[in-house]
């Protein structure tokens, strides 16, 4: 079994959609084995980007439930595997997590997370790798780390405030308060609610249908231009946009779009030049 297979990946080739369904351990906790799997995921998506069958939409979700029937998305990091580790190894492990989260955030796809239940610590930080998060009614979110003598170290302390503002980020990180799906939506931690997993997956399929008709290169460049521009002044943002636009032109994607304008307007999909990347 390859590392990625522990996440039960399902590729919908027609929609160019890759779905990960987390179901491991007692509570989908994240440890070294799972980091291996996510690194394999990044390799797969990045390699597919230059192929004739790129992945344009990624979805991460879970159907896992506890023995009591409580739904779980990601209950946190696998702390038990660190028993006996020295400080040097622990620091290196957290650096690896942080680097992985940065890589996941930059994948050249539209990433949708469906938070189905308990989403704590690492799970809440994982939302920061998503482009869109849908919460189900039983989802709950929190950052318990400061109660364990640490802080959210997989981009949570660094990036959460950019998503929900410093007041809410400090509130969640300092108090360890657990919030429900309604509060998560109110403060912007998630972007949508769905009544159940089927309804959430239907929305993912709608996203995927829209995405698959578009230039995978243009999609990736737009996403990267938006992310690269965050926190920069206007002149830098314009320079980033200009470079991304010119790459679309230089790659030939813009010419394909012009030549197939009528087909695209009618809902068709031209043969985008994936091999030119």
- The domains of the chain are located at 3-210, 214-276
Output the average pLDDT for the chain.
Answer: 96
User: How many CB atoms are closer than 10 A to CB 264?
Assistant: 17
Query: Mind listing the pLDDT tens digit for each residue in 18-43?
Result: 999 999 999 999 999 999 999 999 99
Length of the chain: 277
**What digits encode the pLDDT tens for the residues 132-180?**
999 999 999 999 999 999 999 999 999 999 999 999 999 999 999 999 9
- What pLDDT, on the 0 to 100 scale, is given for residue 235? 98
Task: Tell me the mean pLDDT in the region 168-193.
Answer: 98
The answer to whether residue 215 scores a pLDDT higher than 90 is yes
Q: Specify the pTM.
A: 0.96
Residues contacting 40, CB < 8 A, separation 6+: 2, 3, 4
What is the rounded end-to-end Cα distance, in angstroms, of the chain?
Answer: 31
In angstroms, the CA 134 to CA 190 distance is: 6
**3-class secondary-structure state, position 146:** helix
Indicate whether 268 pLDDT > 90. Answer: no
Query: Which architecture does CATH list for 3-210?
Result: Alpha-Beta Complex (3.90)
Model pLDDT, residue 275? 47
Note the pLDDT tens digit of each residue in 47-89.
999 888 899 999 999 999 999 999 999 999 998 999 999 999 9
For residue 233, count CB atoms less than 10 angstroms from its CB and return exposed for 0-12, middle for 13-18, buried for 19 or more. exposed
Closest CA to 48 of 22, 18, 19, 21: 18
CATH of span 214-276: 1.10.12
The pLDDT of residue 274: 62
d(CA 256, CA 239): 24
């Amino acid at each position: 079994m390859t590392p990625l297979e522990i996440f039960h990946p399902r590729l919908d080739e027609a929609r160019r959609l890759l779905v990960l369904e987390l179901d491991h351990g007692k509570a989908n906790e994240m440890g070294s084995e799972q980091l291996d799997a996510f690194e394999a995921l990044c390799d797969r998506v990045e390699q597919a980007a230059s192929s004739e069958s790129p992945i344009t939409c990624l979805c991460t979700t879970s159907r896992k439930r506890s023995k009591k029937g409580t739904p779980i998305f990601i209950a946190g990091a696998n702390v038990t595997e660190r028993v006996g580790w020295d400080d040097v190894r622990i620091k290196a492990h957290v650096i690896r997590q942080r680097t992985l989260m940065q890589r996941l955030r930059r994948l050249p796809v539209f990433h949708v997370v469906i938070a189905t239940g308990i989403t704590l610590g690492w799970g809440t930080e994982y939302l920061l790798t998503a482009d869109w998060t849908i919460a189900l009614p039983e989802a709950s979110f929190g950052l318990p780390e400061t109660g364990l003598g640490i802080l959210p170290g997989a981009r949570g302390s660094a990036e959460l405030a950019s998503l929900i503002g410093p007041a809410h980020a400090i509130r969640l990180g300092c108090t360890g308060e657990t919030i429900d799906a309604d509060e998560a939506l109110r403060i912007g931690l998630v972007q949508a609610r769905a009544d159940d997993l089927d309804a959430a997956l239907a929305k993912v399929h709608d996203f995927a249908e829209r995405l698959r008709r578009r230039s995978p290169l243009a999609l990736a460049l737009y996403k990267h231009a938006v992310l690269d521009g965050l926190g920069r002044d206007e002149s830098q943002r314009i320079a980033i946009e200009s470079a991304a636009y010119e790459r679309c032109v230089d790659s030939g994607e813009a010419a394909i779009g012009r030549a197939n304008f009528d087909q695209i307007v009618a809902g068709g999909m031209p043969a985008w030049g994936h091999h030119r990347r």
